[in-house]
Amino acid sequence: MTTLFEPLTLRSLTLPNRVWMAPMCQYSSPASGEDAGVATDWHHTHYATRAVGGSGLVLTEATAVSAEGRISPYDLGLWNGRQTEALRRVTRAIAEHGAVPGVQLAHAGRKASTGRPWDGGGPLRQDEGGWPVVGPSPVPFAEGHLLPAELSTGRMGEIAQEFADAARRALEAGFRVAEVHGAHGYLLAQFLSPVSNRRTDAYGGDHAGRTRFPLEVVDAVRAVWPDELPLFFRISATEWLAEGGWTPDDTVRFAADLLAHGVDLLDVSTGGNVPGVAIPSDPGYQVPFAARVRAETDMPVAAVGLITEPGQAAKILAAGEADAVLLGRQLLRDPYWPLRAARELGHTGEVLPLQYRRAA
């Protein structure tokens, strides 16, 4: 039996296998009005299909903890009861089809207020439906992007509370895993990196200063997230800079900090905070960063990034490089990839839904 289809228990929650769906923005919620940020039929079908397809954990796209924290006006949100109620239908469908529903809680910071990718993806002015953006320092993401207002410590406390409030709503909506988004150049990643964090107060400067606010957010979420349920953190392990920036060494050190603050698994990605850097595109190019965290700390990890073939995924786990794999675009191309992987790898357990077993 391949370990891809062995259960994994974190705290009191057992995930049925180790093939998981990575968070991927759908930009498919209404952009304004009382339904802004609300899950639609698209979200229900999209996520339920991956559960039917055999993914053991289905993580939602980056789900904004506030309207200000959306990447685009069309992002999913969890800042009010209407959004909570709409997501109950989504989590129920995921669970009914054998997967665990997970939510990624996010604030985009200086990368907020942008258009959808198929509309160009550029920054939006207020007359285009955009809004002012914030960050650790008044440093825009790239030329032509909005200048963020530097967050006061008071506003940072409010944002930490927004993460906690969104986590409470996520629990009410039926989610069983919560992930704090600290990767890809969004707000918490902006605090971690000296490229975007130029603060001279207690929230900038050295490693302890730059990690202080992300850890405060983790503490706020862990305080309201049940002890029996796991909390994940997604990180960009490197910014792919020749010098400076957030490094793999920083990631290993921070993983130990996160573990001490109640995080149960590190979701290891890379990049996103510095535009124009050269990023490899080899299969599994991000796996070594996850493997290093797993080897040098006690933190369980999930690996992601151009994991496309069943044998490749199985070897990652067999080699002890990760505890689970997260598939992104591969699951957009093939929602039933886990079922195909089980067949190709000779897994003899019951993976196919009951309704499909006559096709085995």
- Per residue in 293-329, pLDDT tens? 999 999 999 999 999 999 999 999 999 999 999 999 9
Residue 1 has pLDDT above 70, yes or no: no
3-state percent breakdown (helix, strand, coil) of the chain, nearest 5: 40, 15, 45
φ, ψ (nearest 5 deg) of residue 348:
-100, -5
Residue 107 tokens read as 């604030």
For residues 269 and 325, the answer to whether their CB atoms sit within 8 Å is no
The pLDDT of residue 66 is 98
Q: Which of 250, 267, 262, 242 is nearest to 102 (CA)?
A: 267
- Calpha distance 72→119 (Å, rounded): 11
Q: Report the candidate in 185, 248, 259 with the shortest Cα–Cα distance to residue 218.
A: 259
Contact 114, 70 (CB under 8 A): no
The stretch 143-151 carries a mean pLDDT of 96
Checking if the pLDDT of 8 tops 90, the result is yes
Decide if pLDDT at 348 tops 80: no
Instruction: Classify residue 187 as exposed, middle or buried by CB count within 10 Å of its CB (0-12, 13-18, 19+).
Output: buried
Q: Which two tokens stand for residue 142?
A: 């790239």
Query: What pLDDT band is residue 93 in, cutting at 50, 70 and 90?
Result: very high
Q: Give pLDDT, residue 268.
A: 98
To the nearest whole percent, how much of the chain has pLDDT over 70?
100
Cα-based torsion angle of the residue sequence 169, 114, 22, 180 in order, rounded to the nearest 10 degrees? -40
* List 27, 186, 203, 356, catalytic entry: 186
* Contact (CB, 8 A) for 292 and 299: no
pLDDT band with cut points at 50, 70 and 90 for residue 234: very high
Which two tokens mark 348?
């003899």
Q: What is the pLDDT of residue 347?
A: 86
What is the phi/psi pair of residue 51, to 5°?
-70, -45
Structure tokens, 169? 């709503």
Cα dist from 109 to 93, 214, 296, whole Å: 31, 13, 31
Structure tokens at 317: 């786990």
From first CA to last CA, the distance across the chain in angstroms is 18
Does the pLDDT of residue 207 top 80, yes or no?
A: yes
Look at residue 2 and tell me whether its pLDDT is greater than 80.
no
Where does the pLDDT of residue 359 fall: very low under 50, low under 70, confident under 90, or very high at 90 and above? confident
pLDDT at site 349: 73
How high is the pLDDT of residue 358?
83
Residue 32: pLDDT above 80? yes
Kindly state the DSSP code that residue 339 receives in the 8-state scheme: H
Catalytic site includes residue 186:
yes
What is the mean pLDDT of the segment spanning 341-357? 84
The helix or strand, by DSSP H or E, that contains position 111, with its residue range, turns out to be none
Q: What is the mean pLDDT of residues 22-51?
A: 97
Residue 247, judged by CB atoms within 10 A of its CB (0-12, 13-18, 19+), counts as: middle
> Does position 191 have pLDDT exceeding 90, yes or no?
yes
Mean pLDDT of 233-260: 96
Task: Please give the average per-residue pLDDT across 177-184, as a whole number.
Answer: 98
pLDDT tens by residue, 258-274: 999 999 999 999 999 99
Question: What pLDDT score does 353 carry?
Answer: 83
pLDDT in tens, 222-232: 999 999 999 99
Fold of 3-359: TIM Barrel (3.20.20)
Pairing of β 149-150 and β 134-135: parallel
Name the β-bridge partners of 325: 19, 303
Is the confidence at residue 78, as pLDDT, over 70?
yes
